[in-house]
Structure 1
Amino acid sequence: MQKLLTTLLILLMSLSVVTISNAEVLLIERVEQSQATDRPKRASTMNQVRNQFGEPSRVVSAIGEPPITQWVYSNFTVYFENQYVINTVMHQANADEKGPKPLN
């Protein structure tokens, strides 16, 4: 009986290692995919972003000082300080993915 329990325990531990390995591969693939995705570059102007990517689906008005504006596109959100891109953040691929959530 104890041999059977030990074997089951080893089997369960093996499966959990395989599951963790697969999750890491998926995370690595997601990071590589986001790096290859065309998105606005830092220091681009609002006009350059609009010309390259079109109109955003939503604009979050400027907040704070210096004013920070958000333009939301389908795959990413662009953050501007005054008229210049300071960052672009990819959206979550699915609800289970860990990472920042867009503001509502």
Structure 2
Amino acid sequence: MRHLLLALALATPLTIAETLTVPLGNQGNPALSTPTRGASMSNVAKAFGQPQSIRAGVGDPPITTWQYPQFRVYFEYDKVIHSVKNRTAADA
């Protein structure tokens, strides 16, 4: 009987939960236009100007990141794969 109680005690997981709130809908300015997927680097530069900084390609295929004041653009080779708006002060 003692072994059965020990086995049941060890088999019953202790559950502790914490609720985290992630404000996904509040990131960046919703009215801000960003480059669209598939746009070339030259088209992004024409439409949005030169970036503040460029992180050279990393990995295979190389992923290059352009940093603008309000967003970042990720390129695979020379095509946009994703644009991410920076959080604003009100979102922090």
Sort the TM-score into its range (normalised by shorter chain). 0.5 to 0.7
Higher-Rg member (1/2): 2
Q: 2:41 aligns with which of 37, 43, 46?
A: 46
The aligned residue for residue 81 of structure 2 is 86
2:52 equivalent among 51, 54, 57: 57
Does 1 or 2 have the higher relative contact order (CA < 8 Å, sep 6+)?
Answer: 2
Runs of 5+ consecutive residues of structure 1 not aligned to the other structure: 1-25, 98-104
Unaligned runs of 5+ in 2: 1-22
- Cα 1:80–1:32 change in 2 (3 A) is closer
Report the CA distance shift for 1:45/1:93 in structure 2 as closer, same or farther (over 3 A): same
Which string of whole-angstrom CA distances, capped at 9 and with x for unpartnered residues, describes residues 38-77 of structure 1?
Answer: 1100000000000000000000010000000000000000
Cα displacement string for residues 5-53 of structure 1 (whole angstroms, at most 9, x for unaligned residues):
xxxxxxxxxxxxxxxxxxxxx975x36942x311100000000000000
- Equivalent of residue 72 in structure 1, options 52, 67, 70: 67
Aligned residues: 72
- For residues 96 and 83 of structure 1, do their structure 2 counterparts lie closer, same or farther at Cα, with a shift above 3 Å needed? same
Residue type of the partner of 1:50? Answer: A
Tell me which residue corresponds to 1:22.
Answer: none
Inter-partner Cα distance in structure 2 for 1:58 and 1:68: 14
1:56 counterpart SS class? coil
- Aligned equivalents of 1:33 and 1:91: distance in 2? 8
- From the two aligned structures, give the one with the greater helix fraction: 1
Root-mean-square deviation (CA, aligned residues, Å) is: 2.8
